[in-house]
């Protein structure tokens, strides 16, 4: 990862997307675009936002770096340290638990030999239990980047999912298509 602001460079496509989001707000209110830009940054730089990346976001928005840090640390979707290729965000909240989410989380820990928040030795998976993902009717479920994987309600389905993920590449971010 880059060590200085100068080494953090968004792709042209990502910069075009960033400018599009900034244009949605009135003159002088460009800070409003901070959340979409952090999402773009996370997808652009390996699934997490480093201090250098946050500094770059501040530079683009012409705001103080602290204004980016305080936002990035408040919202749980932004990873502040390196993560695996696939971050398994497993819903652990009420309705999913009524259908077996706790057991699925335990199985993932066992099968991947990691605890919550940890990454597998091969760098493939990070386990990140999260609160409700608005998929309560199809739990247990988990999210990987922008996609939902629902009704993971048996060990067989979990095995099948993990096997698929081992060979899966992430979809190209929409602004790069």
Partner 1 sequence: MGLKILTEHINVPGIETLEVYRKHGGYKSVEKALKTMSPDEVVEEVKTSGLRGRGGAGFPTGMKWSFLAKPEGIPRYLVCNADESEPGTFKDRWFMEKNPHALIEGMITSSYALGANTSYIYIRGELLFVLRILEKAIAEAYAAGLLGKNILGSGYDLDLHVAPGGGAYICGEETALLESLEGKRGNPRNKPPFPAVKGLFQSPTVVNNVETISAVPWIVNNGGAEYAKIGIGRSTGTKLISASGNINNPGVYEIELGVPVEEFIYSDQYCGGIWKGKQLKAVVPGGSSVPILPANLILKTAAGEDRLMSYESLSDGGFVSGSMLGSGAFIVFDEDQCIVRNTWNYARFYHHESCGQCSPCREGTGWMEKVLHRIEYGHGHQQDIDLLVSVAKQIEGNTICPLGDAAAWPVASAVRHFRHEFEWHINNPKEATAPGAVYRGQLDAVTA
Out of 19, 76, 164, 172, point to the residue binding partner 1 (CB under 8 A). 76
Q: According to the binding rule CB under 8 A, does residue 134 interact with partner 1?
A: yes
Q: According to the binding rule CB under 8 A, does residue 126 interact with partner 1?
A: no
CB of 3 to partner 1, least distance (A): 26
Q: According to the binding rule CB under 8 A, does residue 139 interact with partner 1?
A: yes
Out of 56, 119, 135, 149, point to the residue binding partner 1 (CB under 8 A). 135
CA gap 61, 36 in Å, rounded: 12
Peptide bond into 140 cis (omega under 30): yes
- Among 27, 24, 25, 34, which residue's Cα sits nearest to residue 59? 34
Residue for token digits 């993971």? 152
Handedness of CA 72, 75, 78, 81 (dihedral sign): positive
Which residues contact partner 1 (rule: CB under 8 A)?
24, 26, 29, 31-36, 38-39, 61, 67, 70-71, 74-78, 92-95, 97-99, 130-139, 143, 146-148, 174
């Amino acid at each position: 990862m880059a060590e200085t602001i100068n080494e953090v460079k968004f792709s042209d496509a990502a910069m075009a997307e960033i400018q599009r989001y900034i244009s949605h707000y009135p003159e002088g209110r460009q800070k409003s675009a901070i959340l979409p830009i952090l999402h773009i940054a996370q997808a652009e730089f390996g699934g997490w936002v480093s201090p250098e990346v946050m500094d770059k976001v501040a530079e683009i928005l012409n705001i103080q770096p602290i204004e980016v840090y305080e936002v990035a640390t408040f919202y749980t979707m932004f990873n502040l340290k390196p993560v695996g290729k696939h971050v398994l965000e497993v819903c652990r909240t009420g309705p999913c638990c009524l259908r077996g989410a706790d057991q699925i989380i335990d199985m993932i820990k066992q099968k991947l030999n990691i605890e919550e928040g940890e990454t597998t030795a091969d760098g493939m998976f990070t386990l990140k239990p999260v609160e409700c993902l608005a998929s309560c009717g199809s739990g247990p479920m988990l999210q990987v980047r922008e996609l939902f994987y629902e009704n993971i309600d048996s060990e067989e389905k979990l095995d099948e999912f993990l096997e698929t993920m081992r060979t899966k590449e992430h979809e190209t971010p929409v602004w790069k298509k």
